[in-house]
Structure 1
Amino acid sequence: MQLKSKACGAYGTNCYIVSIDGKEIIIDPGMDATEWVLHNVHNPIAILNTHGHFDHVWSNADLVEALHIPLYAPIDDCFMLESDPFVQGTPSSHADVAVVGDQNFDINGIQVSFMHFPGHTPGCSAILIENALFSGDFIFKNSIGRYDFPYSSSDQMRQSLEKFLQIEADWEIFPGHGERTTLKTEQKNVPYWFSFL
């Protein structure tokens, strides 16, 4: 697996391009991601959204139109793609595949697992490809996603963190903002956050 990333837009949202066997998957194309993505893909097969916040989905529409590939997004966040609830002027996009909970996909021979971790948003998910977990705004290096936004839930965040602690693996984590980390490292940090929930 080869990986390219770029922090895009005013919020520095990480857009990722995962390349396996000459096929590419685009994860979270946010604000100002279109030109960079188009310059760096040769055989794209899908766009994946970890959740529906505008800074992660802004370039969905442009890339679907340009590349004619399917868009996957968590079903509980699809309304954010379509209706711009935060009134940011986000271009409307529509998921070709609405992901329900924890769901596995074979996308042109590439195994992709969505893992549902609600709290930051109702549909907030992490996406596992091989041993890389693209955690969106659920888990960051030394931090967790905010749960004080509209449609967020501290109760769901607590449940998601408890679920996160049960994972027995040591995947590398590629978050929606900031630097990469590892699952074992962040499992050690999680108990600290329970006192705030």
Structure 2
Amino acid sequence: MQIKIQPMGATQTNCYIVTVEGKDFIIDPGMGATKWVLDHVTNPVAILNTHGHFDHVWSNQEIKERLGVPIYCPKDDVFMLASCPLGQRVPESTADYLVEDDETLTIEGVKIKFRHFPGHTPGCSIIEIKDVWFSGDFLFQQSIGRWDFPFSDGEAMVKSLEKAMGIEGDYTLYPGHGLSTTLKAEQKVIPFWIEQVKQTL
């Protein structure tokens, strides 16, 4: 697996191109991502969204039209592709595949699992490819996603963090913002964040 990373826009949202068996998967193409993506793909097969916030989906439609590839988005966040809950005038995009909670897909022969961790958004998911998690805005290095946005849910976030604590095995985490980390490293600090979220409920 080869992973290319480029932070995009004012929010420095990580856009990823993940190459598996010669196939390129574009994860979270944010603001201004189109040129970088076009310059760095050779065999694009799909756009994958971890969730529906504007800074992760901004270039969805433009890239879809330029490359002729489908968009996969968690079903509970699809509404955000047409109407941004954060008040941004995001270019509208249309998902071709609405991903079910914890669904495992096979795209062009590559197994991809969307692990559902709601809280930051209703559909917030980690995209698992082999032993790598593209964690979107659920888990960051030493931190977690915000749970005070419109359509965020603190109680759901607590349950998601508890779910993440119970997952065995180690994964390398590539988050939506900031530097990479590992699941084992984040499991050491997740209990702190569970308490922080609980204090706001």
After TM superposition, is the score higher than 0.5?
yes
Residue equivalent to 1:98? 98
Q: How does 1:43-62 map to 2 (within 5 A)?
A: 43-62=43-62
8 A Cα contact 2:85 2:150, kept in partner? no
Matched, 1:11 2:11: yes
**Deviation at 1:22?**
1.2
Q: How does 1:43-122 map to 2 (within 5 A)?
A: 43-122=43-122
Letter in 1 for 2:36: W
Specify the SS of the correspondent of 2:134. strand
Specify the SS of the correspondent of 1:128. strand
Specify the SS of the correspondent of 1:184. helix
Letter in 2 for 1:99: V
For residues 117 and 62 of structure 2, what CA distance do their matches in structure 1 show? Answer: 27
Residue equivalent to 1:40? 40
Letter in 2 for 1:159: K
Letter in 2 for 1:82: A
**How many equivalent residue pairs?**
197
Letter in 2 for 1:61: Q
**Deviation at 1:41?**
0.3
Q: How does 1:157-196 map to 2 (within 5 A)?
A: 157-196=157-196
For residues 194 and 20 of structure 2, what CA distance do their matches in structure 1 show? Answer: 37
**Deviation at 1:84?**
2.5
Residue equivalent to 1:152? 152
For residues 157 and 86 of structure 1, what CA distance do their matches in structure 2 show? Answer: 19
**Identity of aligned pairs, percent?**
56
For residues 195 and 20 of structure 2, what CA distance do their matches in structure 1 show? Answer: 40
**Deviation at 1:89?**
1.3
**Deviation at 1:87?**
2.7
| TM-score when normalising by structure 1 | 0.99
What is the CA RMSD across the aligned residues, in angstroms? 0.7
**Deviation at 1:146?**
0.4
**Deviation at 1:100?**
1.2
Letter in 2 for 1:112: I
Residue equivalent to 1:23? 23
**Deviation at 1:169?**
1.1
List gaps (5 residues or longer) in structure 1. Answer: none
